Amino acid sequence: SYGLRILSLLTSSVSSLPGVCGCCGALRPRYKRLVDNIFPEDPEDGLVKTNMEKLTFYALSAPEKLDRIGAYLSERLIRDVSRHRYGYVCIAMEALDQLLMACHCQSINLFVESFLKMVAKLLESEKPNLQILGTNSFVKFANIEEDTPSYHRSYDFFVSRFSEMCHSSHDDLDIRTKIRMSGIKGLQGVVRKTVNDELQANIWDPQHMDKIVPSLLFNLQHVEEAESRSPSPLQATEKEKESPTELAERCLRELLGRAAYGNIKNAIKPVLIHLDNHSLWEPKIFATCCFRIIMYSIQPQHSHLVIQQLLGHLDANSKSAATVRAGIVEVLSEAAVIAASGSVGPTVLEVFNTLLRQLRLSIDYALTGSYDCAVGVSTKIIKEHEERMFQEAVIKTIGSFASTLPTYQQSEVMVFIMNKVPLPSSQQSIEAGKAGENRNRLTQIMLLKSLLQVSVGFQCSNMLTALPSAFLDRLLSAALMEDAEIRLFVLEILISFIDRHGNRQKFSTISTISDISVLKLKVDKCSRQDTVFMKKHGQQLYRHIYLICKEESNVQAHYEALYSMLMLISIELANEEVVVDLIRLVLAVQVAQINEDNLTAYNRCALFALGAAYLNLISQLTTVPTFCQHIHEVIQMRQKEAPYLLPEDVFVERPRLSKSLDRLGPEVFFWQSKISEVLGGSGYNSDRLSTPYIPQLTDEDRLSKRKSIGETISLQVEVESRNSPEREQRAPAEEITYETLKKAIVDSVAVEEQERERRRQVVEKFQKAPFEEIAAHCGARATLLQSKLNQIFEITIRPPPSPSGTITAAYGQPQNHSIPVYEMKFPDLCVY
């Protein structure tokens, strides 16, 4: 063996001399002879296939020589590249490809190092053909599944070089296209080779993703093709499949499809940075296309991670131009629609909190004209119409998100939004001053718009769960605000909740139709849950409807919404008791207009027309012939004597009005006594029908700064309050001084001491006093309580006569009410 080594050294030294012939070639190692034999005399003849088969057989028979074969091939290729013998370069690469495809032994790792070294040499060349040749060899290598892992192999150079090729700016269009496509194929090969091998370099690291993703997006960035390209590559033409755009899309889809949960962030962040750097949010076409590809490619359970990335990016750009923020929000909306149900993930309320925060910031920007919420600080010019576009985009996105959620989460979102609405009756801070009022009003309108977007897509069969008490209280509190636009939004939100069968559009216009069957209404029997809801919240709804009717700033849209709401309650939530209450409510509105001074002629005529239209439809729904006849007779009389009291003459572009409403005859009114009589004969509660509707004065009205609400209700109860036995003159308020406050504090301390002493005596008495004394004391108290109860019973059984002898109801109908004792309900403490 020592002699053979000396012989090989001599052979190599002799052969390296320039003047020596190859007479010593037979002394060279066999693998070198086999490698040399695959190269022909003329490179145009190509690889010598028979000799290549011998080399392949030798490599398979002696796998320990494979690394030497690769090193020798690499040496020859580098020499041929430097001498510009590109024909032999192609032959060497073809031989390497065949050896890679044939050999899968454990020693292939050392051979791969030589192979990658040769590919890197080709990619470093300035010749496009060599770059393409090296890329094609690398792609073939990437498709080979290796039997043994590699712990030290690095692909950093290839990621950088392929990304650079994707941005090629060669003068020749065809060559530039080929180089870019080779770069994309090379990146695709790197991804395939490394993405599933944990022992390879982590391709998901930011240092790699920041090169791969922008390179693919650069080739996707063709606006003229983005609109016409379909979301799925399967629908593309054969010609388009050969373009860098389509190839980049396929590679991006494959990359995102392989992304695991922890890699989504590193894959999405470069997309957001690329869109920022190239100002691609404002046209939004390319940004929307990119995120369609992303949402369709990633695993469905990871969709919410993309949503969170977009939300975080929106927060980071909160002081960017409104067009940029609007683009991000519209991409969010598109992503929410594509994502499956529940795509928002576990942080549902945080998503809506972010969107609502952006909405508030936009309102501040529009009012102050500055991104720093201080006038004159920012140098950027804020355009109010762009901020309005952004606000509308946020509202649309809120609706898109909510539509993907289950019902119970939609309900939580609506409660969350409603709690954000600043109301005078709530504990939220209401800003004072004109600027504060404008900010409060815009915030209220935008939040109610958002709530309306969510409620439109909300479907729930149980009204108790759809409208919880706290939510309904806040919503109805907003219905009593002075702003007409806010009241209209509240009515529309309530209508969207109540309308569960799509009847809303059938009541879009107010009219007195003669046949209700043409509307083709969808009517179901009132469920038990709906009955419980109306028993719990019915009077609250009636009261707010009554008060909204009497607002001076109402326009036609308000009356149309009120009409729809009355009809939808009658169809969706009504039993006999609800129908009776709604009729009483409408009649009370009619009676209130007779001597109403604060309303305009249009408002008064509109309320009369609203009552006529509602009673016309409800009479046909009840199918009581005498009731229908009475309503029809009054409508006919109005058509002859007072057409300005009918919707056909009021709710038109040029309404016909009359200012002499105080001189109307009794034949044009709907009489409560007549309606009570005809419905009472058909089984309805005539006593309840004959009782006028009077809204109750609540704490909300007493604390309200608006005089109209308190005056409206106080006028209804003025007659009762005059005869109230509890009415008494209030003592004048005592003057509050320092001495008064000091005395009050001292007296309170003394009272507490007396109370403490009295309790101590009572405890001591029951602990030490004899049983007979305690029993006698309790018996005396029981006798006193019994005497008081007897007095109450006597007063209840024989009530004192009224001054007129009877209680006169509306329109002169007398009624005597005597409630038996056994039907009365007493407090628990009064029962012994």
Distance CA 603, CA 609 (A): 10
pLDDT of residue 288: 92
pLDDT 10s digits, 250-267: 999 999 998 888 889 999
Question: Residues of the chain with pLDDT > 90: what percent?
Answer: 27
For the cut 60, the answer to whether the pLDDT of residue 154 exceeds it is: yes
Q: How confident is the model at residue 567 (pLDDT cuts 50, 70, 90)?
A: very high
For the ranges 62-76, 89-103, 224-238, 572-586, the lowest mean pLDDT is seen at 224-238
For the cut 70, the answer to whether the pLDDT of residue 596 exceeds it is: no
pLDDT of residue 210: 93
Most confident segment among 69-83, 372-386, 695-709 = 69-83
| Residue type at 555 in one-letter notation | V
Distance CA 80, CA 76 (A): 6
For the ranges 547-561, 710-724, 771-785, the lowest mean pLDDT is seen at 710-724
Q: Are 628 and 592 in contact (CB under 8 A)?
A: no
Q: Which residue has better confidence, 464 or 563? A: 563
Q: Which residue has better confidence, 797 or 89? A: 89
For the ranges 12-16, 127-131, 726-730, the lowest mean pLDDT is seen at 726-730
pLDDT of residue 548: 92
Q: How far is CA 139 from the centre of its chain?
A: 44
pLDDT of residue 21: 42
Distance CA 218, CA 199 (A): 30
**Rounded to a whole number, what is the largest CA-CA distance in the chain?**
146
Distance CA 228, CA 226 (A): 6
pLDDT, mean of residues 397-406:
86
| DSSP conformation class of 807 | E
Question: Residues of the chain with pLDDT > 70: what percent?
Answer: 77
Q: How confident is the model at residue 611 (pLDDT cuts 50, 70, 90)?
A: very high
Q: Taking the CA of residue 429 as centre, how many other CA atoms within 13 Å lie in the half-sphere pointing to its CB? A: 5
Q: Which residue has better confidence, 795 or 760? A: 760
Most confident segment among 210-219, 224-233, 527-536 = 210-219
Q: Which residue has better confidence, 209 or 766? A: 209
pLDDT, mean of residues 739-768:
73
pLDDT, mean of residues 325-331:
92
Residue keyed to tokens 């709804």: 541
pLDDT, mean of residues 632-642:
91
Query: What six digits make up the tokens of 122?
Result: 């080709």
Q: Which residue has better confidence, 147 or 731? A: 147
Task: Using CA atoms of 241, 243, 245, 251 in order, give the dihedral in degrees to the nearest 10.
Answer: 60
Q: Which residue has better confidence, 661 or 513? A: 513
Give the angle subtended at the CA of 36 by the CAs of 31 and 38, to the nearest 5°: 105
For the cut 70, the answer to whether the pLDDT of residue 24 exceeds it is: no
Q: Taking the CA of residue 681 as centre, how many other CA atoms within 13 Å lie in the half-sphere pointing to its CB? A: 10
Distance CA 509, CA 377 (A): 50
| DSSP conformation class of 832 | -
Query: What six digits make up the tokens of 490?
Result: 């509240």
For the cut 90, the answer to whether the pLDDT of residue 40 exceeds it is: no
In this structure, the number of other CB atoms found within 10 A of the CB of residue 375 comes to 11
State the average pLDDT for the chain.
78
In this structure, the number of other CB atoms found within 10 A of the CB of residue 150 comes to 15
pLDDT 10s digits, 443-459: 999 999 999 999 988 88
Q: Which of 38, 20, 44, 16 is nearest to 92 (CA)?
A: 38
**Helices (H), strands (E): how many in the chain?**
37, 2
Q: How confident is the model at residue 18 (pLDDT cuts 50, 70, 90)?
A: very low
Q: Which residue has better confidence, 150 or 190? A: 190
pLDDT of residue 239: 44
Q: How many residues does the chain have?
A: 832
pLDDT, mean of residues 182-186:
93
pLDDT of residue 769: 79
pLDDT 10s digits, 106-126: 556 667 787 888 888 889 888
pLDDT of residue 655: 86
Distance CA 668, CA 755 (A): 67
For the cut 50, the answer to whether the pLDDT of residue 652 exceeds it is: yes
Question: Whole-model pTM?
Answer: 0.70
Q: Which of 412, 518, 418 is nearest to 466 (CA)?
A: 412
Residue keyed to tokens 């006597």: 794
Residue 671: Cβ-neighbour burial (10 angstroms; 0-12, 13-18, 19+): middle
pLDDT 10s digits, 676-735: 988 988 888 888 888 888 887 665 554 444 544 444 444 444 433 333 333 333 334 445
pLDDT of residue 395: 92
For the cut 70, the answer to whether the pLDDT of residue 511 exceeds it is: yes
pLDDT of residue 4: 45
For the cut 70, the answer to whether the pLDDT of residue 189 exceeds it is: yes
For the cut 60, the answer to whether the pLDDT of residue 237 exceeds it is: no
pLDDT 10s digits, 482-495: 889 999 999 999 99
pLDDT of residue 272: 95
Give the angle subtended at the CA of 472 by the CAs of 469 and 478, to the nearest 5°: 145
Q: Are 586 and 628 in contact (CB under 8 A)?
A: no
Please state at what angle helix 66-82 crosses helix 108-124, rounded to 10 degrees. 10
Query: What six digits make up the tokens of 728?
Result: 């008494």
For the ranges 281-290, 378-387, 611-620, 820-829, the lowest mean pLDDT is seen at 820-829
- Please provide the DSSP assignment of 55-104 as one string: HHHHHHH-GGGHHHHHHHHHHHHHHHHHTT-HHHHHHHHHHHHHHHHH--
Query: What six digits make up the tokens of 346?
Result: 């576990």
- Please provide the DSSP assignment of 317-365 as one string: TTTS-HHHHHHHHHHHHHHHHHSPTTTT-S-HHHHHHHHHHHHHHHHHH
For the cut 50, the answer to whether the pLDDT of residue 26 exceeds it is: yes
pLDDT 10s digits, 418-449: 999 988 765 555 565 566 678 888 999 999 99
- Give 590-640 as a 3 state SS string: HHHHHCCCCCCHHHHHHHHHHHHHHHHHHHHHHCCHHHHHHHHHHHHHHHH
pLDDT of residue 376: 45
| Residue type at 266 in one-letter notation | N
| DSSP conformation class of 376 | T
